[in-house]
Structure formats: C-alpha cells, structure tokens
C-alpha cells in the first residue's frame, strides 16, 4: 500500500531554540479516510499548527507525535555508524528510518513518498554478528552493514533489528555488551507469564544465535497484510498525553483517561491497563515509562490499547515505578493501585481479586516458565530472590499473596 501525503512540517532554528509549523494538506483533509496523526493534540483542521520556540536540548519544536518516530540510543548508534561516526540530526533520523519504525508514519523531503519495500530476508546469526561488531567498534563488512541498517534503527536502548520469519516482520533483540544475565530469555519468560495473567502480548520466542547466546523475537503488532506491507498507526502514551517519556510527569490514571476518550472498547482496555500495572508491580518492572505504553488506531479517531511490550523484571527492587500510579508518587504499591480502582472501571473488591489472581500466576508459576525457557540456575535464583523481596516492597501480604 503506497504512502499518502498527509501533512507538511517546517522547522526553523534560531541559536539554541527551534520553532516551526505543522499543517495537514487540503487534499488529504478531503480524503474519505483522512485521520488525524493525533486526535488529541494534532486534530484534523485547515488552520496551521504553530509550534512555539523550544530549546534544542529539550527536544526542539518537533511535536511528540512525530518524536515517537525517532530512534532511541541504539538506533542513533546504528545511524551514526552509517554516517561515519557523526551523530544524526533529527531530520536525518526521520528520513533514514522509514522502513522499520513503529507505526505508520513515513517522512520525505518532497511530495514523492518513499515506496514500500519487501521484507528483508536476513539470517539471524548474521544480524547478531553485525550487532556484536558494532558494539565492540569492530570493522563491519558491507553485507553486514546492510543488515544492520535495515531495521537496526528502531527505538529503545538495547541492540535490535527487524527480522523476516514466515512472511511476517519480527523484532529481534540481541545481547548487549556487559549484560550480566540473559535479558532475552528473561523477557520471553515475562511475556509468557503476562499472557497467563490475561494480558495481550505479541507472539514471541527465543532462538540461539551462537556463542551460547540467544535472541528474543516478537512479532510486530503494527504490521499486517501480504508480506507485512500494511502498517497500523501507533501512538505512545507520551504522545497521547503530550508528555516527554523522559520526564517523571504523567501517570497510569492519566493514561486511563485517554483510553476512556479514544478506545473502541474502553471497559476492556481499562481493565487490561490495570492488569498491566499490577503485573509490573509484581515482577519488578520499573521501566514502565510512557513510551512503553501505547495505542493502535483502528480507524478515524478510534483506538485500542496495543499489545504489551518491554515487560522485563529489572531485578533491582528499587520500589518505584517510572510511571506513577496516581501522579502523586513513584512508589511501587499494590495498595495504591487498588485504591485507584474506580479510574479503571473496577471496584476495590474486583481490583483486589485481580491482584490475588495475578500474584498467584506470577509467584506460583514463574518457575514453570523458567523451566520451559531453560533459564540457567543462577538466573533462577536471582529471579526467586527478586520476587521474594518484591512481595514485601509492594505489600503483597495485605492481599493474601
């Protein structure tokens, strides 16, 4: 499906500040299927949006809706290698990552939109070797460079790349230099537990890549159709709330309000968001920032909560969440979560029952998943110790867990 020209973005720099304008095309506005890139903050309108001056060090004037499309630390490292060591500008990051970014947005310097390409037919072991060489600042042969650039510029801090498997597009995550444990296996274990907790997760698996290491593969939930060419528009919770994910602002309750406004199935999505909140507390996943939550567009201004992703026990037991439960504290607390139950269309009794149910799955079945995933004994012991400490930190005993 060929891209459609939807809008024009113009940015201007003045010393250390950036300002600009954003406008939907008149032809696009007249299309029957025209949809807003963000119904809450960039709704369809004929008037131009003025982007007020903002310091470059704070992200510049680029709207958060479009900042969703920028790669994070790993993707920027891949692009910097391609550019001979020079850090890519935001413009370059947008133009060079059209093929693999999450969601449906593509960017071009002209009205001629880039044509879609077929799925990459890459070898996972070769991809892993390219990733390893980049991390160790080793020479990368040209064939491996191509594999690395094709999909290696995705968001997130950990090494990753796109990978074609059985006619679908998958995200492959690889070991990072200095990893003290097998994060890929740990993520597969966590997603298996999440699925058993009634949380929607992408299809996933682990595969060996040599050197005794594994890769974690999850099927892209924003791609579908023949040869995975069709894209589904995605917005992070940060873009929906217009809050940078690096900040400590925003909360699960704020995101719940967005779901209530936009979701085609608000009751189901609100309850599932509550399950995800409780699950993160139970497994010690404190990396639950606004960019690790999001919604998929199902047509017009209607959305649905996306499948859960980046669910990994941090094994640190710090007792705080990146995303506040209610906006008043970062504390990891089941009591606080249950007290917020009405915001998720739940009574406190219903919320307490969900806590007990999920705790039974997480603390009662994790070892089964560890066995299936062939988790090494050392990691099993760390996970067990983490869960025992986490029970005390989040106040699980209060709910009979």
Tell me whether residue 31 is exposed, middle or buried, using C-beta atoms within 10 angstroms of its C-beta: 0 to 12, 13 to 18, 19 or more. exposed
pLDDT score at 121:
58
Low-confidence stretches of the chain (pLDDT beneath 50): 152-153
Residues 110 and 163 in one domain: yes
Q: Per the domain annotation, does 293 fall within a domain?
A: yes
The domain that holds 269 is classified in CATH as 1.10.1070
Could you give the CA distance from residue 259 to residue 288 in angstroms, rounded to a whole number? Answer: 17
Please report whether residue 184 resides in a domain. Answer: no
Overall domain count for the chain: 3
Domain check: are 58 and 71 in the same one?
no
Contact 21, 47 (CB under 8 A): no
Task: Give the 3-state DSSP-derived string for 66-111, with helices as H, strands as E and coil as C.
Answer: HHCCCCCHHHHHHHHHHCCCCCCCHHHHHHCCCCCCCCCCCCCCCC
Rounded CA-CA distance 100/86 in Å is 21
The whole-number pLDDT of residue 11 equals: 94
pLDDT at 99: 79
Range of the domain at 73: 63-176
**Same structural domain for residues 19 and 72?**
no
Any long-range contacts for 371-376 (C-beta under 8 Å, 24+ apart)? 372/192, 373/185, 373/188, 373/189, 373/192, 373/206, 374/185, 375/182, 375/185, 375/186, 375/189, 376/182
Residues 100 and 25 placed together within one structural domain of the fold: no
Shared-domain flag, residues 249 and 360: yes
The per-residue pLDDT for 145 is 64
Within a domain: 282: yes
What pLDDT score was predicted for residue 146? 58
* pLDDT value, residue 263: 98
- Shared domain check, 41 and 69: no
Domain check: are 39 and 136 in the same one?
Answer: no
Distance CA 359, CA 392 (A): 13
165 part of a folded domain: yes
Are 263 and 325 found together in one domain? yes
């Amino acid at each position: 499906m060929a891209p459609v020209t939807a809008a024009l973005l113009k940015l201007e720099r003045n010393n250390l500040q950036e300002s600009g304008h954003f406008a939907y095309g008149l032809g696009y506005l007249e299309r029957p299927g025209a949809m807003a890139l963000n119904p809450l903050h960039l709704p369809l309108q004929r008037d131009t949006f003025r982007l007020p001056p903002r310091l470059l060090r704070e992200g510049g004037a680029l709207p958060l809706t479009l900042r969703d499309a920028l790669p994070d630390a790993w993707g920027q490292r891949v692009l910097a290698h391609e550019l001979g060591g020079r850090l890519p500008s935001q413009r370059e990051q947008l133009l060079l990552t059209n093929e693999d970014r999450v969601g449906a947005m593509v960017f071009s310097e002209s009205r001629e939109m880039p044509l879609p390409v077929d799925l990459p037919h890459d070898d996972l072991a070769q991809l892993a070797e390219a990733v390893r060489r980049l991390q160790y600042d080793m020479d990368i042969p040209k064939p491996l460079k191509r594999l690395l650039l094709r999909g290696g510029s995705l968001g997130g801090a950990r090494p990753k790349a796109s990978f074609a498997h059985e006619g679908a597009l998958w995200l492959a995550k690889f070991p990072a230099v200095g990893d003290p444990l097998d994060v890929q296996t740990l993520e597969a274990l966590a997603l298996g537990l999440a699925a058993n907790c009634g949380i929607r997760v992408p299809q996933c698996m682990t595969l060996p890549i040599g050197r005794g290491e594994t890769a974690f593969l999850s099927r892209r939930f924003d791609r579908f159709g023949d040869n995975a060419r069709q894209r589904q528009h995605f917005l992070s919770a940060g873009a929906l709330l217009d809050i940078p994910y690096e900040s400590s602002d925003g909360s699960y309750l704020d995101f719940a309000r967005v779901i209530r406004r936009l979701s085609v199935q608000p009751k189901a999505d609100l309850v599932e968001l509550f399950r995800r909140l409780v699950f993160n507390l139970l497994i010690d996943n404190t990396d639950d920032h606004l960019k690790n939550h999001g919604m998929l567009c199902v047509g017009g201004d209607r959305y649905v909560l996306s499948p859960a992703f980046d669910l990994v026990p941090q094994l640190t037991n710090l007792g705080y969440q990146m995303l506040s439960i209610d906006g008043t504290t970062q504390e990891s607390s089941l009591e606080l979560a249950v007290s917020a139950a009405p915001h998720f269309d739940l009574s406190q009794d219903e919320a307490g029952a969900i806590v007990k149910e999920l705790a039974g799955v997480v603390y009662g079945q994790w070892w089964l998943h560890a066995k299936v995933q062939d988790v090494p004994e050392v990691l099993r012991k760390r996970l067990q110790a983490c869960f025992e400490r986490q029970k005390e930190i989040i106040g699980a005993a209060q709910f009979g867990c």
